[in-house]
Amino acid sequence: MLFDAIKGQDRPIEMLENYLSQSRLEGGYLFSGPEGIGKKLTALTLAKAVNCEEGFAKPCAGCPSCRKIDKNQHPDVHLIEQKDSGIKIEEIRLLQHKINLMPYEARIKVFIIDNAHQLTAEAANALLKVLEEPPKDSLIILISDKPALLFKTILSRCKVLKFAPLERERLKDIFREELGLEENTAHFLAYFSEGRLGCGLRLKEDDTLRGKNSIIDDFMLSPKPGFNTLPSQERAQIRRYMNILATWLRDIYMLKTGLPYSQTINFDRKAELSKLTERFSIPELNRMIDAISESLFCLERNINVKLIIHNLKAQLCSN
């Protein structure tokens, strides 16, 4: 099977292989699905597959073309990424210009637009013109984890390939068998990432298992709970901190409602979870989980960080 490095996305990969085998790959595509499950990796692998010097449809990763794509240095493979502000018309005008040129060295020019839901209205209109009549030697791949925010006109011009998270137990097996991770780490990464392989790998890099345990120790088990281990007041770190607290409370809640231990996220702390099911009532847990959700909501809306933490402490520590 092609695309061996992309795990658990059999359906979209099979569709791409069919398109490739019938040379029906042209125009616009949308790769949709949650963040961290291999959409961009698939798009880049596809760019390699159509341009590999070792043969069409068989990305080798070793030829000059594949290596240039890996280094983001291929003159005919373009990655448009815009994280926070929208994707502006200037970017799409540049795409319009490049897509109509002869390729420098590729068989097929590839344009990958990540977070395509961030196209501004003007940029989307300009892109629509390209999608209506794409040059034959080009591919446009849109990537989005929020396809509902895409302009309908754009959607109607793209073939949609849906990517889905893996079953958590399957991802756990991949982490154990292919990365050699021990049981507790594999379990936590698979469950905390909700079956998203790329997301789980990032968490592994960050040593999230150890980090989450010091957060839990700090907040839930010390006599004076607080955000003592929070190294800064950066929103991303606070978000992570709160998400971990939420998983802890959610585990206690779910155990109380009959969930087996094997389905908890913090499986490595089974004994403590068990004790805490007796300490908290369902209404208390509901209130605490709501407080964290509300804080996360405020965090996204640029409300003062100190105020958010102060309010959350007051609500979580009133037990």
> Using CB under 5 A as the criterion, which residues of the chain lie in contact with Zn ion when the complex forms?
52, 54, 60, 63, 66
- Select 52 or 119, whichever has its Cβ closest to Zn ion: 52
Q: Which is nearer to Zn ion, 25 or 37 (CB)?
A: 25
* C-alpha 148: how far from chain center: 16
The answer to whether 286 and 277 have CB atoms below 8 angstroms apart is: no
Instruction: Give 70 or 167: the residue with its C-beta nearer to Zn ion.
Output: 70
d(CA 149, CA 160): 14
Minimum CB distance to Zn ion, residue 110 (Å): 14
Taking the mean position of all CA atoms in its chain, how far away is CA 123?
24
List, in sequence order, every residue forming a beta bridge with 32; answer none if it has no partner.
144, 162
Helix/strand/coil (H/E/C) assignment for every residue in 172-240 = HHHHHHHHCCCHHHHHHHHHHCCCCHHHHHHHHHCCHHHHHHHHHHHHHHCCCCCCCCCCCCCHHHHHH
Of the pair 66, 246, the CB lying nearest Zn ion is at 66
Structure-token pair, residue 140? 């446009």
| The two three-digit tokens of residue 160, written as one number | 């949609």
Quote the least distance from Cβ 246 to Zn ion, whole Å: 44
Least Å from the CB of residue 213 to Zn ion: 43
Instruction: Give dist(CA 153, CA 162) in Å, integer.
Output: 18
Question: Hey, what amino acid is at 245?
Answer: L
> Closest CB to Zn ion among 52 and 246?
52
Q: Please, which residue, 54 or 207, has the CB nearer to Zn ion? A: 54
Strands 27-32 and 138-144: parallel
CB closer to Zn ion, 4 vs 300: 4
Contact criterion met (CB below 8 Å) for 57 and 21:
yes
Which lies closer to Zn ion via its Cβ, residue 68 or residue 187?
68
For residue 44, the minimal CB distance to Zn ion (Å) is 12
| Contact of 78 with 97, CB cutoff 8 Å | no
Tell me how far, at minimum, the Cβ of 132 lies from Zn ion, in Å: 32
In the complex, minimum distance from the CB of residue 107 to Zn ion, in angstroms, rounded to a whole number: 12
Residue 190's CB is within 10 A of a number of other CB atoms, namely: 28
Reduce the DSSP state of residue 284 to 3 states and report it. helix
